Structure 1
Amino acid sequence: MRVRLLAGILAVTVAAAVAGIMNSNTGKAEQAALESAVLTVSQGSQVGGTARVAQSGGLQLDFNPETAEVTVTDISTSTKWSSNPVDRANDKVAKGIKKMDLNAQLLVDYVDPLNKPFQLNNYIGSIKEKAFTWKQIQDGIEITFDFPKAGFSIPVQYALKKDAFTATIVSDRIQQRDKYRLVAINLLPFFGAGSTKDDGYLFVPDGSGALIQFNSSNSVYKSYNERVYGGDQAIDVSEQSRVKEDIRLPVFGLKRNDHAFLAVINQGAYQAGISAEGSGKSNQYNAVSSTFTMTEFETNTLMAGSLNEKQVVRGSQSIAGKQSFEVRYYFLNGQQADYSGMAVRYRDYLINDQGVKPVTAKQQATIPLMIDFLGGVQKRTTFLGIPYRSVEVLTSFKDLTAITQQLFESGMNNLAIRYEGWASGGMNGKVLTSLDADSKLGGNKAFRRLIQEMDRRGVAFYPVVDPVKFYKGGNGFYKFFDVTKSISRAPAVKNQYLLSNGTKDKTLSPWYLLKPESVNEALDRFSAAAKDKGLKHAALESIGSLVYSDFRRSMLSKDGTGQLWESGLDTAVSRIGGLSFDHPNAYTFIRAESLTDVPLASSGFDVEEESVPFYSIALSGLIPAFGEPINLVSDSKPYMLKLIETGTYPAYRFIARSGSLLAGSQFDSLYSGDFQAWFSDVKKQYNEINKALLPIAGQPIMHHEKLGEGVYRTTFANGKAVLVNYTNEPIKKDQQVIPPGGYVIQVGGGTP
């Protein structure tokens, strides 16, 4: 039914409330619940009134049936969080459509059959047309926004669940009736937005995390707009202009004066994006929000190199998926209203809502150390002038046994080892489905003895397996049947890119992505073989860091792939037990024993003010996390300080034999990979990091703060704190002097 004007009404009877809310689809049970409810109506900030539609967990939810605005009130502080800026009529920056956007709860992108893009908001397309209906649901309200001119409708639900406000796009009930295809829906783009009169910042999960300060001059730069878990990897990219960090966590946040919210994308994260923009660019507000993506695009070059070369943009079909898009907002006040409080709240979410349990580690006199070794790599060689590829041994099974003994004798016995290229054919061989080891490295019997020896010593031994990347056919997998298709329906080819100009590196062989169903098959076969052979640990690459669609005729969206990933990983962890993930996304956490190459910095986009260790705070006390290999960073000293600041364990990447063997392989850039040449440095660096981290190892981080330029304090649950100084001058804090490029451990944690 059409919305009825409620202006001037201060109170309504139950019968009037029911008449205003219900539609013909309301069931008997829902009607009975409504008849027992009393909706309080008070004068709203806009014309008309607001109806109290839910109250739970110290929160109240009000709805304005004329403008479709919602307001959440935190009862403990009387703080109000509105879907739209209450003083937007006074905005002197926004013009035209940008002014109209401020009235909207949805910003919609869509295309016509020729992929011509259009934009529309629900204020112009639905509210002004009086084409939306609403009804009471459990703990909240549902509004269906119909866009009669564009031919689609979008149902949205707002509810209170425990201590959270939830906003949900009911994906499986989206209707697209006309020629247009929905591309993306930005949900609550201005929720809780800060104005030019407010102090605060926007938090975005760029890598480790980053802050965009309110009302900053940086707002003139390109706004933040990135995809959760990275872009769709099945789409070919001709150039990669810059190396950037991906979003690994489906979260974002906003601090406004003494209050803040953390938003968690609880459902639909695989197809989500996160946008953030400061004041002065489009309007006078600072806002951060999430977007639900339904259509992907790919640019293909036709007749490349000819006079008739042209670029063609292809779009996928529009897929909503069966899973709703749900965002939960958690509200923070006082000392908890900052990025540290947001990260601590997300850690609570991981434990209580996702079931992530802290990894129980045996008590050790030293901190964990992770070393990654390359076993065998394929190199091109010749025999009687005939070229062929052969496995070059870089670290044999005997080499690994000897190195482990050397590390133990030097006191580095809290050890984890990742072992790449151990399988038949070395690195980049066939899709792994068994524990068939390469004969040049030692063969199957020697590999089983190696596993047993590592287990006897208490070493967490992780043979590396990548069930996603397809380099060559075999083991029941074939390029024609088993690789993912791009939007053009050609196999999705992947390439390395040159750092110098961002173009594809033609000197390295490309690879393909297994279609998601085949990934699960490969993982299932490998984990079954691992269980049969008694393998207790494995490192899984790509499946924990990449998500992509399969654009076959029966398209599988990123969301569908993500759900397959989760199912396959659940089976694998039930058989192997100890899984480690590289560059890990959030969906790995509940299935992880350890995490490697975790992000400790952001991309450094112009719009961002600074990086923050949100990722490290959230995972602290839960899962052992290791950083990027120290021997591969450009300057090890500040990086080691970053490990200490964030409570992250050290890692290295080596080969046992001479680095000259890497020449002519795809790993010839691993110039600092000779273990013996690095051994004395490893011992010295490890001892230094061990001394710093041992008092706080495994402790949850409770607070992180910037004390001054280049000076930070991290406070842990046991009351200890570490103060780090990245500057070239000694810094005095709390009667303690922090040496230049150094740190001090503080007992008592200081004053947050």
Structure 2
Amino acid sequence: MRWIWRYKKWLGYTAAILLVIVFISQAKITFRDSEGGAEAAGAASAQPSGEGGAVLPDAGGFQLAAETETLRLKFHEATGHFMVEDKRNGHIFRSYPDPEEWEQAGVGGAWASHLVSPLMYQHIDMSNPNANPKESSFTRDEGKVENVQLIDGGVEFVFDVPSAGFKIPVSIRVEDDYVETSVQDEELVETGKDQLLWLRAYPFFSAVQAREEDGYLFIPDGSGALVSFQDKRSTIKQMYQERVYGADGSFISSPSSRNNVVMPVYGMKAGDQAFIAVIHEGAPYSDIIASPAGVLSNYHWIGTQQNYRMRYTQVTNESANRSFETYTKGERFRDDRVTRYYLLDEKQADYAGMASKYREYLVKEQELKRLTPDHQDAPFFLTMLGADREKGVFTDRYIQATTASGAMQIVQELYGLGVQNIKVTYLGWQKGGYSALGGYLPVDERIGGAKGLKHFVDYAHSLDIPVYLEVNYGMNNTKVNGFRPRHHGVRDLSGTLMRFSHQSGDDITMVSRTFMVDSIQDDMADFAKLGIDGLLMEGIGRFISTDYNSRYGGTRSEAAHVDQQALQTVRDQIGGVQLRNPGFYALSSVQHIYDLVDDYSYDLFSSRAVPFAQIALHGLVTYTSTPENGRSQYRMDFLKDIEHGAYPSFDFTMTETSNLGGVYWYAPVSSHFQDWKVEAVEQYQRYNEVFADIQDRFIIGHRQIKSGVMETEYEGGTRVIVNYNDEAYESGNIQVPAMDYAVIKGGKVNAQK
């Protein structure tokens, strides 16, 4: 009978083990209810399926995870989805498409699964040289949510996808008026043969279908652009996808004629509900993707693609031009990936409200400060060319454009004509002129040398006029500062030097960021001796690339960080920094931005440009668009400056423009000062009448009153109405002539011509 006893004992052990397994499998994290108590969160039953059998989370399966004075966060443990309630107005923001419209999603198969999934991703088997990337989603691959834990302000957990071999740690938390999603790279695990290429976390956040109501996607194209919900685009099957801060030169990217993305933001408005998303961490490795309804589904959606590996060209024989394309293997791009969704109250639910919220972000997170005007008049930004080179028969010819004494004469005449708040930037002052890059000291004797330049600076200072010098340490064709391309140049992953093709026929080597910073530091003492007020840093804040130089290289995000360090060094040791249309990661040390983009790329799916960048910046940083004397649509571009709050800028030389027709880099449309000085002064007076007393005021509103008529509103009540039409605009006591503007201050209308 002993076998019976053993059998009973075995049954007892088995039962006990099964009980433990059942207990563990049923255990759930305890969530707080809305009153702060606790209740168990069981797996939710799914809603009825839409097309393709895909299902959305059941609303009853969401449990309270955290709340602030403004927001209430609820989490769905079975799917990893979340929803946020805005307590100011009752609006609900979901991490998945609007369930009321799900039956008309307009998709089936894989994309139906993608739409209901909290994650999309692409991966590839790196061990198989013939393998192709595979695109899938958490829902389609039947992943599971594990290790759910409440944290301060939210919840953290792991998306486990055994079929793909990934464990992706995610946290969701609310603070103030935003909800933040985070993927922590240190805990991301790739367990199988496949490696992650890209990841889209909650790509369909607040996705809605085509509506007749007021709504649009906001994309950071140029100054900003809207993709309207109301536009009919049955034949336009295009999406928007662009890399934040532009392409990485070390990797393969699709050709694009669009503007570089300088702001890590995107947003959506649907009726009186809107959000603005800011890529808080990981922006250098992010793409922004926007899909209008009718492209991949009937939903409008916009989100972020986080890239972990990219394609590059492996050169096998440079002289024979032999190479092949492959993916980066092994180490992925290691940044954490954090996105904040700022939920806007109804009175802020438009692109101007989005830009205002981003301005708040810049002040809080990047420590930008409100401007303190240094003059009662609006600034007049003046750039002047010292010299450049043109191709000669046997050697390059040096073309003198504006000596230091000539620059002094231009400033003296403008000041005498009433333009007193001048900001000077002097170009092409280095040996060899404007086209000589990388080495800048000593000052070329042919434009006056260090003595002549210092004399000009001292004269300008006697009139309280600052003087900046333009430099470009990001490229080097002079071998100054000990630069040697083979040792100090940027290299891609195959070891190939990265070069910029110059119209002179030279291939100019891109400089490794660390060597660039060393060169800048070496020159600081000499710049200080000149008495200048700062530098216009061409080549910094733009075109960041991964550098595989074994001594001076770094990642793309490290390049952005080095840029920030370089700018701070200049600001600390000289006093001021100017940039040209930079990535907004570089703003913390910047006083002025030249050539700030003021238009969009004219994609067929985009409705119109909006001055999002200008709304975010006005009152924090001064900015100009293209120089007045370099425009093809003179009146139109002037009116756009008035609408956008951009200050006047002129690009002058003492020599006649015809003398510069053959120079390498500096190609002015019309730069001769004597041809422009009267018009420049008259034009400046128009700017000054509008902007003199609102230099430090934030833009708090912007709208299209009617087609071709735009209104910009500033703190304190000043409104500027610009009429781009060929006929006058009238509304009540407001009259704006054709192709003109009016300023309303304290209820008084002042129309201009």
Which band: TM-score by shorter chain? 0.7 to 0.9
Offset at residue 304 of structure 1 (A): 10
Q: Distance in 1 between matches of 2:548 and 2:196?
A: 17
1:586-665 counterparts in 2 under 5 A? 586-665=584-663
- Do structure 1's residue 80 and structure 2's residue 78 form an aligned pair? no
Offset at residue 373 of structure 1 (A): 1.4
- Do structure 1's residue 189 and structure 2's residue 200 form an aligned pair? no
Alignment deviations for residues 390-415 of structure 1 (CA, whole Å, 9 cap, x no partner): 43211111110111101111111110
The aligned amino acid for 1:200 is G
Offset at residue 321 of structure 1 (A): 4.6
Query: Closer, same or farther in 2 for the Cα pair 1:544/1:282, shift >3 Å?
Result: same
Q: Distance in 1 between matches of 2:372 and 2:507?
A: 40
CA contact (8 A) 2:437 2:475 kept: no
Offset at residue 305 of structure 1 (A): 12
Query: Closer, same or farther in 2 for the Cα pair 1:39/1:428, shift >3 Å?
Result: farther
**SS, match of residue 480 in structure 2:** coil
Q: Distance in 2 between matches of 1:119 and 1:423?
A: 52
Q: Distance in 1 between matches of 2:209 and 2:651?
A: 48
- Work out which of the residue numbers 408, 420, 423 in structure 1 matches 2:415: 408
1:368-387 counterparts in 2 under 5 A? 368-382=379-393, 387=394
CA contact (8 A) 1:297 1:487 kept: no
Offset at residue 151 of structure 1 (A): 2.4
Offset at residue 143 of structure 1 (A): 2.2
Alignment deviations for residues 112-136 of structure 1 (CA, whole Å, 9 cap, x no partner): 33372221212223xx243644222
1:699-710 counterparts in 2 under 5 A? 699-710=697-708
Specify the alignment match of 1:130 in structure 2: 144
CA contact (8 A) 2:317 2:323 kept: no
CA contact (8 A) 1:218 1:608 kept: no
- Do structure 1's residue 116 and structure 2's residue 123 form an aligned pair? no
Specify the alignment match of 1:464 in structure 2: 470
CA contact (8 A) 1:624 1:698 kept: no
Alignment deviations for residues 606-650 of structure 1 (CA, whole Å, 9 cap, x no partner): 111010011111111111111111222211101000010111101
Specify the alignment match of 1:500 in structure 2: none
CA contact (8 A) 1:183 1:318 kept: no
Specify the alignment match of 1:144 in structure 2: 158
Query: Closer, same or farther in 2 for the Cα pair 1:535/1:18, shift >3 Å?
Result: farther
CA contact (8 A) 1:215 1:279 kept: no
Specify the alignment match of 1:38 in structure 2: 38
- Do structure 1's residue 730 and structure 2's residue 702 form an aligned pair? no
Offset at residue 733 of structure 1 (A): 2.2
Q: Distance in 1 between matches of 2:550 and 2:162?
A: 29
Query: Closer, same or farther in 2 for the Cα pair 1:372/1:661, shift >3 Å?
Result: same
Specify the alignment match of 2:326 in structure 1: 314
Q: Normalising by structure 1, report the TM-score.
A: 0.88
Offset at residue 338 of structure 1 (A): 0.4
- Do structure 1's residue 224 and structure 2's residue 233 form an aligned pair? no
Q: Distance in 2 between matches of 1:69 and 1:241?
A: 34
Specify the alignment match of 1:20 in structure 2: 28
Offset at residue 514 of structure 1 (A): 0.9
The aligned amino acid for 1:376 is A
Specify the alignment match of 1:491 in structure 2: 497
- Do structure 1's residue 210 and structure 2's residue 210 form an aligned pair? no
Greater mean deviation of Cα atoms: 627-636 or 130-139: 130-139
Alignment deviations for residues 20-47 of structure 1 (CA, whole Å, 9 cap, x no partner): 239xxxxxxxx9xxxx973575978634
Q: Distance in 2 between matches of 1:225 and 1:194?
A: 19
CA contact (8 A) 2:308 2:334 kept: no
Q: Distance in 2 between matches of 1:302 and 1:637?
A: 54
Q: Distance in 1 between matches of 2:26 and 2:671?
A: 71
Q: Distance in 2 between matches of 1:55 and 1:730?
A: 51
**SS, match of residue 700 in structure 2:** strand
Alignment deviations for residues 487-526 of structure 1 (CA, whole Å, 9 cap, x no partner): 3321012236xxxxxxxx6x54332221121122122223
The answer for unaligned runs of 5 or more in structure 1 is 1-14, 23-30, 497-504
Query: Closer, same or farther in 2 for the Cα pair 1:379/1:732, shift >3 Å?
Result: same
Specify the alignment match of 2:447 in structure 1: 441
Q: Distance in 2 between matches of 1:147 and 1:41?
A: 22
Specify the alignment match of 1:574 in structure 2: 572
Specify the alignment match of 1:285 in structure 2: 299
Specify the alignment match of 1:431 in structure 2: 438
Greater mean deviation of Cα atoms: 717-726 or 164-173: 164-173
- Work out which of the residue numbers 176, 200, 208 in structure 1 matches 2:190: 176
- Work out which of the residue numbers 508, 512, 518 in structure 2 matches 1:511: 508
Offset at residue 162 of structure 1 (A): 2.3
- Work out which of the residue numbers 336, 340, 344 in structure 1 matches 2:352: 340
Query: Closer, same or farther in 2 for the Cα pair 1:408/1:713, shift >3 Å?
Result: same
The aligned amino acid for 2:532 is L
CA contact (8 A) 1:721 1:750 kept: no
**SS, match of residue 679 in structure 2:** helix
Q: Distance in 2 between matches of 1:290 and 1:75?
A: 26
The aligned amino acid for 1:225 is Q
Q: Distance in 2 between matches of 1:95 and 1:373?
A: 61
Q: Distance in 2 between matches of 1:374 and 1:720?
A: 37
Taking only the aligned residue pairs, the percentage that are identical comes to 26
Q: Distance in 1 between matches of 2:103 and 2:494?
A: 48
Query: Closer, same or farther in 2 for the Cα pair 1:668/1:702, shift >3 Å?
Result: closer
**SS, match of residue 580 in structure 1:** strand
Alignment deviations for residues 522-566 of structure 1 (CA, whole Å, 9 cap, x no partner): 222233443455432211111122211113469732112112222
CA contact (8 A) 1:236 1:492 kept: no
**SS, match of residue 123 in structure 1:** coil
Query: Closer, same or farther in 2 for the Cα pair 1:236/1:254, shift >3 Å?
Result: closer
Q: Distance in 2 between matches of 1:620 and 1:41?
A: 47
- Work out which of the residue numbers 468, 474, 483 in structure 1 matches 2:480: 474
**SS, match of residue 107 in structure 1:** strand
CA contact (8 A) 1:183 1:296 kept: yes
CA contact (8 A) 1:716 1:749 kept: no
The aligned amino acid for 2:172 is Y
Alignment deviations for residues 323-358 of structure 1 (CA, whole Å, 9 cap, x no partner): 421111111122210001111111111112321002
Query: Closer, same or farther in 2 for the Cα pair 1:171/1:392, shift >3 Å?
Result: same
Specify the alignment match of 2:109 in structure 1: 96
Q: Distance in 2 between matches of 1:123 and 1:454?
A: 66
Q: Distance in 2 between matches of 1:674 and 1:532?
A: 30
Specify the alignment match of 2:520 in structure 1: 523
Q: Normalising by structure 2, report the TM-score.
A: 0.88
Query: Closer, same or farther in 2 for the Cα pair 1:749/1:472, shift >3 Å?
Result: farther
The aligned amino acid for 2:361 is Y
Query: Closer, same or farther in 2 for the Cα pair 1:628/1:182, shift >3 Å?
Result: same
Q: Distance in 1 between matches of 2:37 and 2:462?
A: 65
- Do structure 1's residue 672 and structure 2's residue 684 form an aligned pair? no
Greater mean deviation of Cα atoms: 518-527 or 342-351: 518-527
CA contact (8 A) 2:370 2:696 kept: no
**SS, match of residue 565 in structure 2:** helix
**SS, match of residue 692 in structure 1:** helix
Aligned CA RMSD, in angstroms, stands at: 2.9
Specify the alignment match of 2:710 in structure 1: 712
Offset at residue 484 of structure 1 (A): 0.7
Specify the alignment match of 1:66 in structure 2: 78
Alignment deviations for residues 182-228 of structure 1 (CA, whole Å, 9 cap, x no partner): 22212211101122346411111111100011253237242111111
**SS, match of residue 622 in structure 2:** coil
Greater mean deviation of Cα atoms: 445-454 or 319-328: 319-328
The answer for unaligned runs of 5 or more in structure 2 is 1-22, 48-56
Q: Distance in 1 between matches of 2:499 and 2:601?
A: 25
Q: Distance in 2 between matches of 1:612 and 1:681?
A: 29
Q: How many residues align?
A: 705
